Chain A
Amino acid sequence: MWWSNLFKDMSPASFFNFSFLPKYAAFFIQGIEYTLLLAVVSVLLAVLPALLLALMRLSKSRLIRSISGAYIAVFRSTPLLVQLSIIYFGLFGVINIPRYSLFGFVDLSRFIPGVVALALNSSAYVAEIFRAGILAVDAGQMEAARSLGLSKFDGMQLVVLPQAIKNVLPALANEIVTMVKESSICSILGMAELMFGAKAVASSTYITLAPYTLAALIYFCINYPASKAIEAIERRMRRGDKQ
């Protein structure tokens, strides 16, 4: 192809020696898919436990509050890599997942432990997002609901949470952006996401730098527009509130 000449004279350590691309593009494309799958699935899986943790954190019972508090403290105060390793070798050393492949390149016996670890980690952060979002809803909203005879559960579900979720939607989307980046750590356990793809290309082509430059570019091209879009949506939501 015409552009393969572009990289002919570049050193293996060049930032932009993308001569590996024609042969190894699939590593990156599958890597992107794997990364997005990891990030989106783990944050979605985190939403319900996080909601539960947030509600527990706001409970009247001190015991329930501290259970949730302890969970959040543990997951926020230890490195993700450590959590991932413990869950991968510990939890999934006991639970056996069949070596089934999804879409031909997502090996479930690795993907599931990875997603579980990321989701458990993410739920601690998302719980705090939810808690802040719930507390940001004026207390008068729940009072109005209760004064109409609605139960605390109904008031939460119909009145407070819809407003809280609207408040936290941008933060939640940002959590996906964070997960797109954080999930790169799963490469260490052999999950074929984007970073793993870059590493594999670097070691088989001896082009030591450019695969990582490309990976960085791809991460940026996913996350930057995503966070801009989130900001735009947030602005539009605000405008909707004011009118």
Chain B
Amino acid sequence: MATSNEIIRVEHVVKEFEGGVKALDDCSLSINRGEVVAIIGPSGSGKSTMLRCLNLLEIPTSGKVIVDGVDITDEKINLDQHRRKMGMVFQHFNLFPHMTVKKNITLAPVRLKLKTQKEADETAMKLLERIGLADKAGSYPAMLSGGQKQRIAIVRALAMEPEVMLFDEPTSALDPEMVGEVLDVMKELAKSGMTMAVVTHEMGFAREVADRVIFMDSGKIVEVNTPNELFDHPQNPRTKLFLSKVL
């Protein structure tokens, strides 16, 4: 049984792509409320696929993903309802280019009747003020820098008041000088107690902010530990090899 503290539980998830490529091979993990989990590993190790399986953007070939006690791989449940609980931030931001910043943020809450347009506008402005971009409310995404876009993408996800935030390499597509501003927003979010799963190449961020670090390689979860243990005393030879290359 899921303990009340547990929010996501992944059980024996396998993801096989067409052509027989196994992106995930029998992965299990659990994430507790308020926890920040960093997922690291070489490219092609399946870490993004893992993250995308958490809100079923990628549908597992087999295995279960249990969110808040509900198995969301069950085809009978209303997946859209459960996705609301999980905000997602993408590598390439995926802001809606034909809408203003404010509209990007308010679209889903208003459409799903969680808020009136007026309430959603107020929330959007508050969130934008928090990240110092209130003056961009009326701008279109094309007018913003990468760092600004990603911070707004974070805010857009937060506007749904999710219980978990998923980050898929949120700083990988950014110019180096903009990485900091995005990581700062994420740090603040972690401090505020948000549950977060972060696929990242930023080892410094993983060490500083994560409660636990998951190391993946060739579709398998190889090692899970606290950042200090995993970075300073890796147990598995593959973890050691990877860390020796990136640290």
The verdict on B111 contacting chain A, using a C-beta distance below 8 Å, is: yes
| Contact, CB under 8 Å: A143 / B142 | no
Complex Cα spacing A241 to B90, Å: 21
Q: Which residues of B contact A143 (CB under 8 A)?
A: 57, 88, 90, 94
Complex Cα spacing A149 to B81, Å: 6
The verdict on A146 contacting chain B, using a C-beta distance below 8 Å, is: yes
Contact with B along A136-179 (1 / 0, CB 8 A): 00101101111111110010001100110010000000000000
The verdict on A204 contacting chain B, using a C-beta distance below 8 Å, is: no
| Contact, CB under 8 Å: A241 / B57 | no
| Contact, CB under 8 Å: B96 / A159 | yes
Contact with A along B85-102 (1 / 0, CB 8 A): 011101010111110000
For window 138-189 of B, CB contacts with A under 8 Å fall at: 140, 142-143, 153, 156-157, 160, 166
A234 CB to closest chain B CB, in angstroms? 16
| Contact, CB under 8 Å: B142 / A150 | no
* Partner of B111 from A146, A154, A241 at Cβ < 8 Å: A154
The verdict on A77 contacting chain B, using a C-beta distance below 8 Å, is: no
Chain A binding surface SS class: helix
Interface residues in A, total, Cβ within 8 A: 21
The verdict on A242 contacting chain B, using a C-beta distance below 8 Å, is: yes
Q: Which residues of A contact B232 (CB under 8 A)?
A: none
The verdict on A78 contacting chain B, using a C-beta distance below 8 Å, is: no
Complex Cα spacing A97 to B32, Å: 69
Q: A146-B57, A148-B83, A149-B81 are in contact. Are A141 and B94 (CB under 8 A)?
A: yes
* Partner of B84 from A145, A149, A166 at Cβ < 8 Å: A149
**Chain B interfacial positions (CB closer than 8 Å to A):** 55, 57, 80-81, 83-84, 86-88, 90, 92, 94-98, 107-108, 111-112, 140, 142-143, 153, 156-157, 160, 166
**Chain A interfacial positions (CB closer than 8 Å to B):** 138, 140-141, 143-151, 154, 158-159, 162-163, 166, 241-243
CB-CB nearest 6 A-B residue pairs = A149-B84, A144-B94, A147-B88, A148-B108, A140-B94, A149-B83
